[in-house]
Chain A
Amino acid sequence: DAGVIQSPRHEVTEMGQEVTLRCKPISGHDYLFWYRQTMMRGLELLIYFNNNVPIDDSGMPEDRFSAKMPNASFSTLKIQPSEPRDSAVYFCASSLTAGSPIYTFGSGTRLTVV
């Protein structure tokens, strides 16, 4: 398996623009997680899905952030409009169960909003 695939690897955008991050989980993994990592706050859970259904989105910072999982092999995280404080590394991870210790992370998307 190719692992969790995220795109793009790097994204530089201007404040106010829409940003879409993409993730392809490992086939057969029922859980998909979106995390955001910054120096100040560390790795924060934004939202997670079970069988394509959002289970907990309490970590989504505000209405500018939205996530979807239209099918078992694809998820998106969208920021509209983007702001400089959204600059971070966004990781997608998948696992067989939520409590499994083995989360497989993608390589992350490094987002810079200028």
Chain B
Amino acid sequence: RKEVEQDPGPFNVPEGATVAFNCTYSNSASQSFFWYRQDCRKEPKLLMSVYSSGNEDGRFTAQLNRASQYISLLIRDSKLSDSATYLCVVNKGGTALIFGKGTTLSVSS
């Protein structure tokens, strides 16, 4: 079983829609969690960290459920510019980041 699993999508949504991505991780020792964004043929970039209490950054909300080993990302009021691949990322503490394969989002007008 892969350490980080995501639904690859693609998710095709109209502008203004709300979309949610899910991610599960297999190692209960994982300590830190993040979402990265990768545009087509570009490098990955940090979108936001994920905290146990849940956190919000504008239209983006991230949630963590340690008991279920589950991470989510909610995007409200989708924009065309949100079209990208969203990578779920975990870290066991002191080791390198482990990336999921990503979920592709396509927002259309």
Contact code string B36-73 (vs A, CB < 8 Å = 1, else 0): 00000011111001000000000000000000000000
Query: Taking CB as reference atom, which chain A residue is nearest B43?
Result: A105
Across the interface, which residues of A come within 8 angstroms of B89, CB to CB?
A: 101
- How many chain B residues touch A (CB < 8 A): the figure is 22
Once bound together, how far apart are the Cα atoms of A83 and B43, in whole Å? 24
Interface string of B6-47 (1 = CB under 8 A from A): 000000000000000000000000011010000000111110
Instruction: Identify which of A43, A48, A98 gathers the most chain B CB atoms within 10 Å of its CB.
Output: A43
Report A34-75 residues with CB < 8 Å from chain B CB: 35, 41-43, 45, 48, 56
Least distance between B94 CB and chain A CB atoms (Å): 6
Interface readout for B66-109 with A: 1 if CB under 8 Å, 0 if not?
Answer: 00000000000000000000010101011111111110000000
CB closest residue in chain A, given B49: A101
Question: Contact at B95–A56, with CB atoms within 8 Å?
Answer: yes
Separation in Å of the B17 CB from the closest CB of chain A?
25
* Contact, CB under 8 Å: A56 / B102: no
Count residues of chain A with CB under 8 A from any CB of chain B.
18
Given contacts A105-B43, A105-B45, A106-B43, contact A42 B99 (CB under 8 A): yes
CB of B46 within 8 A of CB of A102, answer: yes
Q: Shortest CB–CB separation between residue A10 and chain B, in angstroms? A: 11
Contacts of A107 in B (CB 8 A): 42-43
Contact with B along A64-106 (1 / 0, CB 8 A): 0000000000000000000000000001000000110111011
Beta-carbon contact of A41 and B101 below 8 Å: yes
Chain B residues with CB under 8 A of A106 = 43
List 18 other contacts, CB 8 Å, given A42-B102, A105-B43: A33-B96, A33-B97, A35-B99, A41-B101, A43-B44, A43-B101, A45-B96, A45-B97, A91-B43, A91-B44, A98-B95, A99-B32, A99-B95, A101-B32, A101-B97, A103-B46, A106-B43, A107-B43
- 3 closest A-B pairs (Cβ-Cβ)? A42-B101, A105-B43, A43-B99
